Every structure is written in structure tokens, then in C-alpha cells.
Amino acid sequence: MASNEFQSLQGMSDIQAPEIYLWRMMEERARSVFNSYSYEELRTPVLEKLSVFQRSLGDTTDVVKKEMYSFKPSKHELAMRPEGTAGTIRHLAGRGEEGLNARVFYIGPMFRYERPQAGRKRQFHQVGVEATGEPNPLADAEAIALQKSLLDAWGLTGSKIQVSTRGEPSDRKPVADGLRAALQPHLNDLCEDCQRRIDENVLRVIDCKNESCQKIVDQIPSAIEFMSDASRAYLDQVIQALENMGIDVTVNPKLIRGLDYYVHTVWEISHSALGAQDALAGGGRYEIALGKKAIPGVGFAVGFERAIMALEACGITGGKFAPEGGLWLVSLGDAALAENMKLAAQLRAKGIRCGMELANKSMKAQMRKANRSGAAKVIIRGDDEIEKGIVTVKDMAEGSQEELNLEDLIRDA
């Protein structure tokens, strides 16, 4: 089978039935949930100028540094979007005042050149939202509530919401300095990676998976303790607002989120079914400057591939959402086949799911197909029926049959 020519690219897969029905369910319900929170859909291009991502995600992040599909077809260096926020903000920034108070969502493919792994593809799919506006703990809480509504709508259970804060930009230095000072005495006990991280990105030491590093991290003060009173108060207000809405979250000061643009609230939703990459969704408050003015907002993204892994662990699979019901037309003889083509067109015009065999096959074969299609009823027509202007209708579940006038069938269908 699969010769190389028929293989899709590494980390990029074809999504087909029955899994596709799960995707469709998720997309449809996502749109419905977003509508209930009065968010509008925004579709931005997959390609943007490379600078759009460099400026919003940060030059130093791995995503920008080494995971982007970029190329230069003409004047500008372009890149395929590795996430949805940058393009969305690029769009909103162009809408002036209106863009500073917008609520939009997106659904679509994202691209990152990484080694594929559980729940990680090179072309992967996200649904996300962005709500722009000045920092407001209630907005952050609402975004988390919206995300929870989304997962609930999909029927996903067993996920965990963890919340933390990055503080304000002015907190960054005190936090980094404070953590470095606290870690310094333990330097030799940290893993190799972490010894490097202390200088490069000290926050990453906090969520190192190495057990011995974790022991040390547990001993030192959390990043939040080095932040200003205002930053801590902001987080408290978010937690309070979530409590008021009855949303259960865990405050985890060790939660680190990588992108540079985050300020204040950050959060992550994880699920035990996912393996090492257990985050199926993440979000946070950000401030993104593309031009002179920074755009403040809050948003989140959910990974479809990972959400699907979690859903399947909950026993929710695509097959459950496969289309079924409707009719199947069985034709005996060429005359009936021609007549059924006409009938099918009439039924389909009424929006009825309607299948039929277009080749001259045995009745047995046609019935088998009808059964497989999930049709509720089968319309059987041969020379007899054509002559009398009737159809034989068989109920597939009960096995019962009756004869109907053709006109009655078309009218009542």
C-alpha cells in the first residue's frame, strides 16, 4: 500500500471519517458557545509577515526562533502562523479604537516545525478567543469561564484548571532576581538544564520535570512572592470572581507559560489522558505591541488534537456523531434506476439524506449498502411499482413494509 507518494508529510495527517465527525461536533458546538458569550468569528490568513510573530510572541521564544515555517517568496519574509493570537491582534490593531474592545474567536490550523509526539502535530488545530481591553480581573475570569463552557459543551470531563500570574512587566526583574538569589545556594544540586536556565530563563527552573530540581523549587519562595502587592491583588480578584461563578480552579504558582507577551493572569487546562504533553488548553492576559500602542487583552487557545485525545479517553468518539437516518433508494431494473434518480433529486431538494446505488446491482447488494448507510427507511422500486405509481417502503429497524403512493411519499417525506 502506502508508497511514499501517498504519504502525507511528517506530522501532518489526513482527518477522515469517522474521526472527522468528532471535529465537526467540536467546531459546531464551539461556535454555539462563543455565540452565547457574544464573540464574533475572525478568520485571518495562515500566512503573515514573519515580523508579526516576532513582535508579538517575542524574538527569543522557541516558537519564533526555531519552530516556524518561514520563507521569502518576494520582498517580505513570511511565516505560517504557529498560533492564532498574533494574527488576531494584527487584525485588531488595524481597527483602531474598535479593536481595543473586541471579542473574537478563531478556529483553524497552525504550523510548528517540531518533532511529532503524543498530541503534537506539525499541522495542528486550535480554537481560541481574544478579548481586548484594559486589564480587568473580571475579563480574565470570564475568559476562563468561557473556556470551561467550551469543554463542557464537548462533553469533556476530568480536566483540571490551574491558574497563576506573571505579574506586571515591572515585576519581571524582581522575580528573576529573587528566584536566582534563592536558587544560588542549591546551584550544584540542579540538573544540567536548570543550571543553564538560571541565567537564560530562570522561570523554566520552576517547572523542570526533574525530581531533584522540584525538591529545591519546593523549598524556595514562589515567583508570586516576589511580585508587587498590586499584582498579587489582581490574581486574588480573578480567583474571587471564579469562585463567585462556581468554577473550581487550582492556584499553581509553579505554572509557567512560555510566550513573552503574557502579563498578570495565566492558566492552563490539563488532562490526565494526554501523557507528557498534558496541557490541552492554555491562556492568559497579554499586552502585545505591533506598532506604537500596545494592545491589552486576554485570550486562550485549545488544541483540537489534544482535546480529542482527552475526549476519546472519556469514551467520546467520532462514530457517535456520524450522520444516519434518512432514506435509501433501491432500484430493480434500469427503468427503476432512472426513476429513482428523479425521486432522489426531489427528496434531496427537501434536505432529506438520501442514498442510492447507481450501478445495476442485486437487491441483496443494495440492501446491504442501505443497511451500512444507516438509513432509517428503504424505498424499493421495480417495474411493478413504477407501473402502479407506488413505492414499497421498508422500515429497517422493524423490518416491516408498506406500500405508499409516490405522491404521498414525496409530500410526507
CB of 38 to RNA, least distance (A): 24
Site membership for RNA, residue 282 (CB under 7 A): yes
CB of 257 to RNA, least distance (A): 5
Which is nearer to RNA, 237 or 392 (by Cβ)? Answer: 392
Rounded distance, CA 273 to CA 158, Å? 9
Site membership for RNA, residue 163 (CB under 7 A): no
Site membership for RNA, residue 158 (CB under 7 A): no
Rounded distance, CA 87 to CA 93, Å? 10
Site membership for RNA, residue 3 (CB under 7 A): yes
Site membership for RNA, residue 74 (CB under 7 A): no
Which is nearer to RNA, 253 or 282 (by Cβ)? Answer: 282
Number of shown-chain residues binding RNA (CB under 7 A): 76
For RNA, which residue of 396, 404, 410, 413 counts as binding (CB under 7 A)? 396
N-to-C CA span, the chain: 43
Q: Which of 350, 314, 246 is nearest to 26 (CA)?
A: 314
For RNA, which residue of 4, 16, 74, 188 counts as binding (CB under 7 A)? 4
Helices 19-36, 304-313: inter-axial angle, 10-degree rounding: 110
Q: Between residue 8 and residue 27, which ones bind RNA under the rule CB under 7 A?
A: 8-13
Q: Between residue 197 and residue 226, which ones bind RNA under the rule CB under 7 A?
A: 197, 201, 204, 208-210
Which is nearer to RNA, 29 or 369 (by Cβ)? Answer: 369
**Strand extents, DSSP E, 240-353:** 250-251, 262-271, 279-289, 294-303, 327-331
Which is nearer to RNA, 167 or 299 (by Cβ)? Answer: 299
For residue 112, give every residue at least 6 positions away whose Cβ sits within 8 Å of its Cβ, in sequence order, or none: 63, 67, 68, 69, 82, 122, 124
Rounded distance, CA 194 to CA 187, Å? 9
Which is nearer to RNA, 171 or 357 (by Cβ)? Answer: 357
Rounded distance, CA 42 to CA 65, Å? 27
Site membership for RNA, residue 129 (CB under 7 A): no
Quick check: helix, strand or coil at residue 192? helix
Quick check: helix, strand or coil at residue 370? helix
Site membership for RNA, residue 361 (CB under 7 A): yes
CB of 349 to RNA, least distance (A): 24
Per CB under 7 A, which region of 71-79, 100-108, 110-118, 136-144 contacts RNA? 110-118
Examine residue 18 and say whether the peptide bond preceding it is cis (omega within 30 degrees of 0).
yes
